[in-house]
Structure formats: structure tokens, C-alpha cells
Amino acid sequence: MNKKPTKSFKAEMNLPKLIEQFGSDEKCRAQLASLRWPKGVACPRCQSKSVSKVVERDQYDCNACRYQFSVTSGTIFHDTHLPLSKWFLAIYLMTESKKGMSALQIKRTINVSYETAWYLCHRIRAAMRDINAELLRGVVEVDETYVGGKTRGMGRGYKGNKAIAIGAVQREDQFIHDNTAPDTEAIYTDEMPAYWGIEDADTKHKWVNHSKEEWVVGDVHTNGIESVRSLLKRSIIGSYHKVSIKHLDAYLDELEHRFNNRKNEYIFRDTLTKLVNATKLPYSELTKSA
């Protein structure tokens, strides 16, 4: 995760504005068209820009290859019978809510079936995976946490039914400005053996020994990542209640996306842009067993 410096933060989108600007299918389509084709409508099949608009069907006809398409053709918005304004609401709610939204909350809030809400959530999360490909630099904090339910009779320490989630955050950019080496300079972790040996010639590895109640030694601590870990725990406890191991990666991706964009006033628009340009995730891909 990348921490960017923060100035005054004011979200570009809010609920009244969303309803006013994207309350109808027509307005949503216009928005998607400007995000999908910023340089003018192009045929998704042959890229020709010679297209005719068929207004009554919300479609375009390609004059070169005769392909008929709409702004949602080939995107994740296609094939759902859901009004685009509900899609927009779901995207807004998921990007805006700090702790995330469960399918159950989406179901209740936008008034769709649970199956639709579940499908919607997973499609939005899947598209978010395309974001945040940037590698971490400078000083990186790494920490691990176990995610999963309690097993009766086994006590809280039992990890047999849990998945391990390893998180990493980059220290605030101020530190990096002072340390201009192109490679990662240091990785700070706790004492867990999994981290041993991650250093190399130009990357130091330092750790604090949590089992000995050691939390901060000089500059070495993992407080940054631990705040993210507690956000993850609160997200799961507060919103999701139960995260299946199969979908854990997707939940973590969503958390990362929201964390990295927490100061991004255009998060709604940016997520929408990713979604309209993302490849479709077939339903079979989502439901196949891990």
C-alpha cells in the first residue's frame, strides 16, 4: 500500500450529488461513455471511430464492421438487468464506506436480491484488483494477521481454520524524500521467522520482538501497518462478520484499494473508470471452488 502525503481532503462525490447527477439510466450511460471513450466513441471490435448512434436502443452501429454495441458492451455492467443507477450507488457505497460494505448491506441499501448484491460486490472488487499495481519503496512495514472463525473447544489461539494475511505499507513520503535511494532501504517487521532472510545488500531488515513486549526500538516499529491491520479486523468484525478464505484475497484487495485512495477526492470517478475499462469476470470464475 502506498501512503501519499495528505492535504485538506474533501470528497468530490456525495450522496445527494450522486442521486442528482446519476439518477437516471441516460445520465449514467453518458458518464460511462465519457469514461470509456474520452477521445470519442470507438467500435470495441475493430476500433473504428466511424459509428452511428441508434438513439432509441441506446446503441451504436459500427460503419466499418457493422457491429452493434452499447456503452456497456464487453464491460462488467453488461448482462445484469440491474439499472445503471443502482450500479453507481453500489460503487459509491463501496468506495465511500471506510470499513467496506457486505453484500447484505448492499442488498438492503439499494433494494436488490442477496444474489445480485453478492455478484455486484464481487464484480466491483474484482475490478479493483487492476488498481494499485505500484510497488512499495523506501521504508516498508510488514505485519501478519490471522483471519478466520473460532473453532469450538480450540480457544482463540487455534489457527488451523485460519488464513494468514500479510500486509505491507510504505512509510510516509517525507521519510522517502530524505532518503533518495532507488531501492527499498529497509523492511521493518516483527520477529516472525517467515521474515528472516528478506534483507539483501541494499535492503536492511529490522524487527521488533512483539513476544517480548517490544514495540518500538528507535525508528523500528510497525505501527503504520498495525493501524491497517486493525482496520482489517474492524472491517471483518464490523461489516462482513464472516469472510470465507476463498474470497479473502478479494476482500484484502478492496481494503487496499480503499486505504490507498482514502485521500483521493476522485475515488468514485476513478473506480468507475476502472470498472468500465476492466475485463469481465465470468460468473463461473467467481463460483468455482478454490
Question: How many C-beta atoms surround the C-beta of residue 287 within 10 A?
Answer: 10
| Segment contacting Zn ion by CB under 5 A, of 14-22, 58-66, 70-78, 194-202 | 58-66
Least distance to Zn ion from the beta carbon of 64, Å? 5
**Residue 118 engages Zn ion in binding (rule: CB under 5 A):** no
Q: Rounded to the nearest whole angstrom, what is the least distance from the CB of residue 63 to Zn ion in the complex?
A: 8
Q: Is 62 in the site for Zn ion (CB under 5 A)?
A: yes
Considering beta carbons, is residue 41 or 187 the nearer one to Zn ion? 41
Three-state DSSP state, 51: strand
Residue 207 is inside which H or E element, if any?
A: strand 204-208
Nearer to Zn ion, 64 or 216 (CB): 64
Q: Which is nearer to Zn ion, 64 or 164 (CB)?
A: 64
| 245-251 long-range Cβ contacts below 8 angstroms, 24+ apart | 245/147, 245/148, 245/163, 245/290, 246/289, 246/290, 247/122, 248/147, 248/163, 248/165, 250/122, 250/125, 250/126, 250/129, 251/100, 251/125
Question: Cβ of residue 45: shortest distance to Zn ion, in angstroms?
Answer: 5
**Residues between 66 and 95 with contacts to Zn ion, criterion CB under 5 A:** 67
Sign of CA dihedral 151, 153, 155, 160: negative
Nearer to Zn ion, 48 or 80 (CB): 48
d(CA 58, CA 54) in angstroms, rounded, equals: 6
Angle at 149 between CA 145 and CA 152, to 5 degrees: 130
**Choices 65-73, 147-155, 212-220, 231-239 (CB under 5 A): range interacting with Zn ion:** 65-73
Residue closer to Zn ion by CB (options 59, 80) is 59
Nearer to Zn ion, 45 or 99 (CB): 45
Q: Site size for Zn ion, by CB under 5 A?
A: 8
Give least dist CB 50 to Zn ion, A: 8
- The DSSP bridge pattern shows strands 163-170 and 186-190 to be unpaired
Nearer to Zn ion, 46 or 216 (CB): 46
What binding mask, one character per residue, do residues 13-52 give for Zn ion by CB under 5 A, x or -? ------------------------------x-xx-x----
Question: Which residue, chain included where needed, has cell 467496506?
Answer: 100
CB 68 → Zn ion: shortest distance, Å? 10
Secondary element (H or E) of residue 121: helix 114-128
Distances (CA, A) of 275 to 83, 162, 210: 16, 31, 41
- Which stretches of the chain bind Zn ion, using CB under 5 A? 43, 45-46, 48, 62, 64-65, 67
